[in-house]
A and B are shown apart, each in its own frame.
Chain A
């Protein structure tokens, strides 16, 4: 199984520079469907699914490897090597913002720029640091993941299939978007929400843009400011978009912020 198949990698567009988009916890590369196409004219756009999500190879899931974000970053580096990425732009949503940062540290020269959309180096409060969640709240999340697995996989599929203007989407979505193995989903949630990468922030040397949404309950304003303060030379842009997924709710705002930066 090649890396390309393992991570369901898709490369589109033309351009000497590559732009790689990475999805966060909960979804797959479809998260970028309203954003990525805008860059296909000027960039080699790279999309992929983390192992365990979407159309990735579930059999490639190794609990020990993916027990930390470092394992996911290794995959990003492998994809980058396979595609010979050099001085590329990495756009990571949510937990993948940190995965991209780790990948940039593992493979110097691969990513010249980092765009972190709603990043958080640590979700759980710790002393003076405000991550936004208590340990108990994250435990409750992990406990309650099973409540929605059935609806997620079985009941969502028929609704997703009826997509008249883009029939290929139906296929893509039924096969990937709803497919999450409950054990892997739980493990990924654990890795994501229990991660602590605060110390890695100051090691980042890539040009970095932090996109901070308004009213984001998952990565609040103070977290975005923390990231900005600890990544040397980083830029922080506040989006008018509310919620945690501006790539879906306000794609134009995200596109324009990335264009201005990259």
Chain B
């Protein structure tokens, strides 16, 4: 004999469903509830009928229900996944997720509000854990941001305050160089001036970086008809003063250029400084600047070891430093800021590195 297929008993399905059932009258009092709910919260169906649904909630839940979910029910006829805490007969909290649907008659008159309740104790715990973790992460992030902003402000102020004494040092050194000196003193003065210029450009880079981080961005003061050749030669002289290495300069700029001369000077100085630090000591550093076919190009080349591909990718990021002797280490800001200066001029700064030499090339379109 074959087994008889069991028939689902709808009454039993209602009473002992794996969720709580509630039907509310339009005034919010309970008309019917199931056995599962009674088992959860310890009130008999007789106790529940006639009492208000709101009375099953904690006070916070009542307020939230009245200000948010009761209105939603009126406006859209349903709500889903509402988190509520039921208060059991013993006074304990029983977290649930509630869905509700309004049942109307054919004339549209409200008959019942039907609510299904799902046990959500673990889900609630998990969600609260997430909220707490998010709050904690947010507050740590806020603190970090505050500290980092303060630090950058500090850098900006420090950089600014260092400029004045440095200008005095440079001024006095230049003045002494114009007076008759022994050859040895001239050498010392040259080193002094070179070091001061190097320090000055480091400060400029730091200030630009701090300004960028503080949201001010890189500011350009564009000038029409800049005599770029003279300006570049001056930068070369400044760097020559601080080194015994050879710098070859080949400058052929026929047009006047519309640019920020101070910024292009900063860029060139950064590239030359970089080449002197990282290039092979026995090969001259070469500066080449020319205009051709609506483009200005400035390139700086040094001999020496090839830059590995992995390092090339990160070269223009702030604080990236190649491995050099500690005494030669800069801040790793020069190339990053030079790249920003190039972009601000509508141009590019690129690098090619082979086994023989490394070349940085700045190109910008000349405005007609």
Contacts and interface: CB of A to CB of B under 8 A. Distances in A.
A64 to B, nearest CB: 17
B65 to A, nearest CB: 9
Contact of B67 (A24, A143, A177, A249): A24
A36 to B, nearest CB: 14
A230 B188 CA distance: 89
A251 to B, nearest CB: 9
Given A147-B128, A242-B28, A243-B28, A152 B74 contact: no
A155 B72 CA distance: 13
A156 B76 CA distance: 10
Contacts of B28: 215, 242-243
Interface size class of A (residues with CB under 8 A): 35 or more
B244 to A, nearest CB: 59
B129 to A, nearest CB: 12
A27 B68 contact: yes
B59 interface: yes
A141 B64 CA distance: 8
Given A137-B59, A137-B60, A243 B78 contact: no
A148 B82 contact: yes
B66 interface: yes
A152 B76 contact: no
B218 to A, nearest CB: 27
A151 B82 contact: yes
A262 interface: no
Contacts of A156: 72, 79-80
B71 A26 contact: yes
A144 interface: yes
Given A147-B83, A245-B71, A140 B64 contact: no
Contact of A243 (B60, B63, B66, B81): B66
Interface string A228-262: 00000000000000111100110000000000000
A25 interface: yes
A173 B75 CA distance: 10
Interface in A5-46: 24-27, 30-31, 33
A160 B258 CA distance: 58
A217 B66 contact: yes
B127 interface: yes
A56 interface: no
B61 interface: yes
Contacts of A177: 75
Nearest to B60: A141
Interface in B138-155: none
Contacts of A140: 58-60
Interface in A148-191: 148, 150-152, 155-156, 159-160, 163, 173, 177
A122 to B, nearest CB: 15
Interface in B9-47: 26-28
Nearest to A218: B66
Nearest to B26: A249
Interface string A67-106: 0000000000000000000000000001000000000000
A145 interface: yes
B67 A133 contact: no
A147 B127 contact: yes
B61 A31 contact: no
A146 interface: yes
A155 B79 CA distance: 9
B80 A159 contact: yes
A244 B69 CA distance: 11
A242 B27 contact: yes
A132 to B, nearest CB: 9
Nearest to B132: A146
B94 to A, nearest CB: 14
A245 to B, nearest CB: 5
Given A133-B59, A140-B58, A145 B76 contact: no
A148 B123 CA distance: 12
A150 B79 CA distance: 13
A29 to B, nearest CB: 12
Given A24-B67, A27-B68, A242-B28, A155 B80 contact: yes
A190 B17 CA distance: 39
Contacts of B158: none
Contacts of A141: 59-60, 63-64
B245 interface: no
B326 to A, nearest CB: 48
A137 B63 CA distance: 10
A213 to B, nearest CB: 10
Interface string B162-187: 00000000000000000000000000
26 contacts: A27-B68, A31-B71, A133-B59, A137-B60, A140-B59, A141-B59, A143-B60, A144-B64, A144-B85, A148-B64, A148-B83, A151-B80, A151-B82, A151-B83, A156-B79, A173-B76, A193-B63, A215-B28, A215-B52, A217-B54, A217-B62, A218-B63, A243-B66, A245-B70, A248-B75, A249-B26
Given A24-B67, A137-B59, A193-B63, 14 more contacts: A27-B71, A33-B75, A133-B63, A137-B60, A140-B60, A147-B83, A156-B80, A163-B76, A173-B76, A217-B54, A242-B27, A245-B66, A245-B74, A248-B70
Interface of B: 26-28, 52, 54, 58-64, 66-68, 70-72, 74-76, 78-83, 85, 124, 127-128, 131
Q: Report, nearest first, the 10 A-B pairs whose CB atoms are least far apart.
A: A26-B67, A141-B60, A248-B74, A137-B59, A151-B81, A147-B83, A244-B66, A140-B60, A155-B81, A26-B68
Interface of A: 24-27, 30-31, 33, 94, 133, 137, 140-141, 143-148, 150-152, 155-156, 159-160, 163, 173, 177, 193, 215, 217-218, 242-245, 248-249
